[in-house]
Structure 1
Amino acid sequence: MSEDFYCEEVLSGKTPVNKVFETSDVLAFHHTRPFYPLHIVVIPKKHIASLIAIEDADSHILIELLDVIRQIASNVVSEYGACRVITNLGNYQDSKHLHWHIVFGSPKE
């Protein structure tokens, strides 16, 4: 896997995605290889390596990112009754680009 799948593949357009929501700074889409029955990924369009790499100058992006996550999570809870909102850090983070997973259901085997 590439170091930054989201910049190299998704944002470049090399890997097409099924968009859920988009703003000038944020993209939400259905995971390209979902691990859950419902699996949405939310990313900033600007490269930010992870949650702990956010700089003060990027705080407006973080606020917009969290607002998009809130809206999508609210819709998922309304439709399915629950969801998880997950981000990973360090060795748990496969792609070194800040991203959040909004998921529902049990992981697929």
Structure 2
Amino acid sequence: MTSDFYCDEVLSGKTEVNRVVETDNVLAYHHTRPFYPVHIVTIPKRHISSLITLEDCDNELLLELMGVIRKVAAWVTEEHGACRVITNLGNYQDSKHLHWHIVSGKAVG
């Protein structure tokens, strides 16, 4: 069975999150266990396994998702001077739900 923290915990409401931006289809929130001083996760509210499983019918959702990522990245860059926008694939992707990390600062721990 594949783990999907985002559907099982975040979107179901089992795990409360500190929302940054939310639209009808996209949620950006502060990571529940941050690896960076600033660590925001952005996800589609509909389950999509990963970047490489997107289909042509997902183009509008992808544009909305990228718009939220752009907005959050601009805010983080303005507040902290820089940021990274990261997505993981394959074995690097712990939760098999498309998600992007917007991070700033040096990794902690």
Q: Normalization by structure 1: what TM-score?
A: 0.97
1:96 CA displacement: 0.1
What amino acid sits opposite 1:11 in the alignment? L
Q: Which runs of 5+ in 1 are unaligned?
A: none
Q: Which runs of 5+ in 2 are unaligned?
A: none
Distance 2:75 2:89 in 1: 26
1:108 aligns with 2:108: yes
Distance 1:78 1:36 in 2: 17
Number of residue pairs the alignment of both structures matches: 108
Percent identical among aligned pairs is 69
What amino acid sits opposite 2:65 in the alignment? L
Tell me the residue number matched to 2:94: 94
Distance 1:61 1:45 in 2: 10
Distance 2:11 2:53 in 1: 19
What amino acid sits opposite 1:73 in the alignment? A
Q: Normalization by structure 2: what TM-score?
A: 0.97
Distance 1:50 1:14 in 2: 22
Distance 2:19 2:83 in 1: 19
1:4 CA displacement: 0.3
Distance 2:89 2:19 in 1: 24
